[in-house]
Structure 1
Amino acid sequence: MPHPPTLSLRRQLLLWLLLPQLVLWAGGGLLAYRIALSYAEKGIDQSLTQSVRALSRQVKPVGSGLLVDFPRAAQDVLEQDPKDRVSYMVSSPPGQFLLGNEQLPQPKEGPLRTGEPLLYRAMVEGKPQRIVALDLSYGEADAPQTLRVQVGKSFAVQQRIARELVADMLAPLLALGVLLSLLVYGGIRRGLAPLTRLTAQLEHRSVNALSPIGTTQAPSEVHALVEAINGLLDEVARSVHQEKRFLNDAAHQLRTPLAGLICQAELAQQETSDPPLKLRLNKVLTGAERSAHLVHQLLTLARSESQVRLQQLDLASLARDVAREWTPRAISAGIDLGFEGEEHLVIDGDELQLREAMANLIDNALRYTERGCTLTVRVWGAAQAAHLVVEDNGPGLSPDELTHVFQRFWRASTRPGGCGLGLAIVQEIAHRHGGQARVTRRSPQGLCIELVLPMVGHQEKPVALSAMSASSPLNPLSEA
């Protein structure tokens, strides 16, 4: 069952450091808005109190009546903002409208103290307003009367002032938050740099590079991790060394008796004239040769899995030399072996392992290609990569068989001699050089196996060389 994807350590740190900052910023904005509303309400309350006292001074009792001295200029001041108009009302007795621009609701607190303004909230035409009420006494002593002056104002100004205050406060806080986020990101990146360097060291080393990892100036937690990894690498290196030592010792111990068995079987074949005995000796000789070949391939596979020692070499020259070495066997098999490609192509590689890979490719082609066929070794460079191709026009493989070509101990033919390790060794050597091995079918028939290896620098355009004549020692045309 696949595990759900998890966040990286960097993203988790960013999340847990920046998320609380965002929450605190939002909470601080809400708190600032509440505080701004409170202070704006205090300002409105003070303004309303001054307005109701000023308006009450314009209503003067005269005997048992009232003299309203409310000039038009004062009324214009109260009603100058259509969007936030100040409402006022004069009533006597309280609640009975005498004068004003709007009917205002009465406070629910009951009778008010004379001369002391009362502030309260009420709904006017479906909108909340802040209202102040002030009661005044007038009239004769034997017939006292009460005058109530009310002034109301909506919360539009209060909310606008609060929003402006909060915006003025949060804008610099937002800039500081962005700066703090950048500093947090930079700090996390710097703090995780040792882990990044450690990851790079592990990614860029080859599979069998089991040497200890070097530590740099880093926190103690990273040192502890490196020491744990080095301990694991040491155990793995010890195990791999013991395995390779056993394989090398076994291969060397088997090669000597197998060589003696092959020699004795050949001598016995030459000294006897009994056909049944010769047939049995031939089977023994074939089995001994196949075992010797298998031991050689196992030893080669063990060596190919070791760390390669890269150095600059001429791949084209090496391919020509290997082709020359296999020319006599190609002639005896009746196969036309040739070389095409560049004169020089420099790469970083291990000469012994690349020579073994080319030998396995040519040997594999010679084993399973029929007489009269053509076998070509081709080398060229393109896109900063070196290409080594061994192709033939033999029977080839089916599409289903192509998927198994590089598997160990897999064979597409029952012909004696092979052991199914040659192409697996080729692929292993290609991987050790940072390249890859590919196999494709030729049209109309045949097989093409290609090694793609990293190249040193840029090379000149490949110069295609025609197949050499039959008289050339490199490209002999064997006669049937």
Structure 2
Amino acid sequence: MNTPAPAQRGLSLRRQLLLWLLLPQLVLFLVGGALAYRIALNYAEKAIDQSLTQSVRSLARQVKPIGSGLLVDFPKAAQDIIEQDPKDRVSYMVSSPPGLFLLGNGKLPAPNNVPDIQPNTPLLYNARIDHKPMRVALLEVDYGEDKSPQRLRVQVAQSLAVQERLTTELIADMLMPLLLLGAVLSMLVYGGISRGLQPLTRLQAQLGDRHHQALSDVSPIELTQAPQEVHALAAALNQLLTTVRRSLSQEKRFLNDAAHQLRTPLAGLISQTELALGESDPAALRERLTKVLSGAKRSAHLVHQLLSLARHEVEVKLQPLDVAALAREVAREWTPRALKIGVDLGFEGADHLQVEGEPLLLREALSNLIDNALTYAGTGCEVTLSVQSRDEQVLLEVADNGPGLADEDLPHVFERFWRASALPGGCGLGLAIVAEIALRHAGQARVIGNLPHGLRVQLWLPASVVLV
């Protein structure tokens, strides 16, 4: 015996919502932090480059050419100011010709892969001095006489520690408020999800309160304040509960009807069988067995009608069909029995008439109407099955000119187990089945007297199901 695998439980709806709402927020925060760091680094680099450019121009102005020589007017106090901060060290170097040390820090390297340096145009590049990253600004100036031109190179370098410090400060100033806002937003998201799931919690509580009730007594779910989706879910559940209650009610009614109606014929069968067992006379035994057979046939007919009634009380799927052709076919099927009992069975009406219906149910409804008319109209009577279109509706009618019914009996014709005749064989369910089939087709069953005498039983299909 194979046992079904247990259902795997996934993440709760609350956790899934938190995951899909907070995870993108975290990703955006990380991406935003990386972009902010890059932007802050760029701005810090621009600030350092601007400061170095100003410094290298100022230092170049302190070197004044005198004839073929140079006068460096760089006070010791200015040099101390430049070099006083070891963490944000600023180094300088003056060389002439370029690369031949004159003044400052002789460790400042020349730029790589720059074959031609334009005079009077600052050049900015990165270098490493004592294994530390530095930003260097370089400016070359021409001096001397036309016959003997010379060039002066001035370099100013600053540690990139200041760039990192500025970047860190900018990132801290930018991301801390964003981090706080993200925390507040996460709390709001969690609270919003919790509040949004409250209708589902109430729905679960209402369903939990109903688990001890019988399905036939379960009341509809009521949600006064809930989102549209939860209302739709509650409506679907109410529809399901209504279907279950109707099914249980039909089942209960079927069992009650079957128990009530089968009790008498079964008791009669038992009684007749017991009497037959005690008979020694063949004629009397045959009479008893004939009654047993008659009771068995009546019980079989009753069971068939009960099952048919129970089957017709469920929802049916309608489809296009030619009801006129169906009615002619049913009339032909009942013609042999009509001829046998001396009843004139005829058909009249449209050649073709399209409706939306269920062929088996409509066939059984017409068969019940014809069977009822043949049984109670009497020998020598006329029974007519007609199909016609009237007031944009389809009318199926079985009329007979038999004895008919009294006016006070007409309202009871479609009631279950109601019979106006004492003739054997019937169980009072045929016309009840016709009424149920009419309801399943969104139609209506009616009965009227047939002047001067007789009965007309009608099956109306509404205009909403008519195709032509």
TM-score, normalization by structure 2: 0.51
Match in the other structure for 2:147:
142
Match of 1:228 among 224, 227, 236: 236
Match of 1:98 among 89, 95, 102: 102
Q: Alpha-carbon deviation of 1:109?
A: 2.1
Given residue 91 of structure 1, which amino acid in structure 2 is its aligned partner? Answer: S
Match in the other structure for 1:23:
27
SS in 1 for 2:56: helix
Q: 1:178 to 1:245 in 2, by over 3 A?
A: same
Given residue 242 of structure 2, which amino acid in structure 1 is its aligned partner? Answer: D
Q: Alpha-carbon deviation of 1:251?
A: 9.3
Could you give the per-residue CA deviations for residues 393-425 of structure 1, whole angstroms, max 9, x where no partner exists?
xxxxxxxxxxxxxxxxxxxxxxxxxxxxxxxxx
Match in the other structure for 1:212:
220
User: What 5-or-longer segments of structure 2 have no aligned partner?
Assistant: 265-468
Output the CA distance in 2 between the equivalents of 1:195 and 1:97.
82
> Is 1:70 paired with 2:74?
yes
Given residue 59 of structure 1, which amino acid in structure 2 is its aligned partner? Answer: V
Q: How does 1:405-420 map to 2 (within 5 A)?
A: none
Whether the 8 Å contact between 1:104 and 1:150 is mirrored in structure 2 is: yes
Q: Alpha-carbon deviation of 1:241?
A: 4.4
Whether the 8 Å contact between 1:115 and 1:134 is mirrored in structure 2 is: yes
Q: How does 1:62-461 map to 2 (within 5 A)?
A: 62-107=66-111, 108-207=113-212, 208=214, 210-241=218-249
> Is 1:59 paired with 2:67?
no
Q: Alpha-carbon deviation of 1:160?
A: 0.9
Given residue 34 of structure 2, which amino acid in structure 1 is its aligned partner? Answer: L
Q: Alpha-carbon deviation of 1:161?
A: 0.7
Could you give the per-residue CA deviations for residues 81-121 of structure 1, whole angstroms, max 9, x where no partner exists?
11221121111111222222241221232232222211122
Could you give the per-residue CA deviations for residues 248-276 of structure 1, whole angstroms, max 9, x where no partner exists?
889999999xxxxxxxxxxxxxxxxxxxx
Given residue 146 of structure 1, which amino acid in structure 2 is its aligned partner? Answer: R
Output the CA distance in 1 between the equivalents of 2:145 and 2:85.
39
Q: 1:7 to 1:65 in 2, by over 3 A?
A: same
Match in the other structure for 1:271:
none
Q: Which has the higher contact order (CA 8 A, sep 6+)?
A: 1
Output the CA distance in 2 between the equivalents of 1:198 and 1:18.
26
Q: 1:68 to 1:238 in 2, by over 3 A?
A: same
Given residue 173 of structure 1, which amino acid in structure 2 is its aligned partner? Answer: L
Q: How does 1:7-46 map to 2 (within 5 A)?
A: 7-46=11-50
Output the CA distance in 2 between the equivalents of 1:24 and 1:103.
45
Could you give the per-residue CA deviations for residues 49-100 of structure 1, whole angstroms, max 9, x where no partner exists?
1111121122222222222222221111111111221121111111222222
Given residue 61 of structure 1, which amino acid in structure 2 is its aligned partner? Answer: P
Output the CA distance in 2 between the equivalents of 1:46 and 1:231.
75
SS in 1 for 2:29: helix
Match in the other structure for 1:48:
52
Output the CA distance in 2 between the equivalents of 1:71 and 1:36.
35
Match in the other structure for 2:339:
none
Given residue 81 of structure 1, which amino acid in structure 2 is its aligned partner? Answer: D
Could you give the per-residue CA deviations for residues 451-479 of structure 1, whole angstroms, max 9, x where no partner exists?
xxxxxxxxxxxxxxxxxxxxxxxxxxxxx
Q: Alpha-carbon deviation of 1:206?
A: 2.8
Output the CA distance in 1 between the equivalents of 2:164 and 2:6.
54
Whether the 8 Å contact between 1:117 and 1:132 is mirrored in structure 2 is: yes
Given residue 223 of structure 1, which amino acid in structure 2 is its aligned partner? Answer: H
Q: 1:116 to 1:190 in 2, by over 3 A?
A: same
Output the CA distance in 1 between the equivalents of 2:105 and 2:78.
13
Q: Alpha-carbon deviation of 1:223?
A: 1.6
Whether the 8 Å contact between 1:129 and 1:152 is mirrored in structure 2 is: yes
Aligned pair count reads 259
Given residue 141 of structure 1, which amino acid in structure 2 is its aligned partner? Answer: D
Output the CA distance in 2 between the equivalents of 1:73 and 1:240.
104
Match in the other structure for 1:270:
none
Structure with larger Rg: 2
User: What 5-or-longer segments of structure 1 have no aligned partner?
Assistant: 257-480
Q: Alpha-carbon deviation of 1:164?
A: 0.7
Output the CA distance in 2 between the equivalents of 1:84 and 1:111.
30
Match in the other structure for 2:271:
none
Whether the 8 Å contact between 1:87 and 1:102 is mirrored in structure 2 is: no
SS in 1 for 2:237: helix
SS in 1 for 2:189: helix
Output the CA distance in 2 between the equivalents of 1:43 and 1:4.
59
Output the CA distance in 1 between the equivalents of 2:138 and 2:8.
66
Whether the 8 Å contact between 1:97 and 1:103 is mirrored in structure 2 is: no
Q: Alpha-carbon deviation of 1:237?
A: 2.8
Q: Alpha-carbon deviation of 1:193?
A: 1.9
Given residue 104 of structure 2, which amino acid in structure 1 is its aligned partner? Answer: G
Whether the 8 Å contact between 1:90 and 1:147 is mirrored in structure 2 is: yes
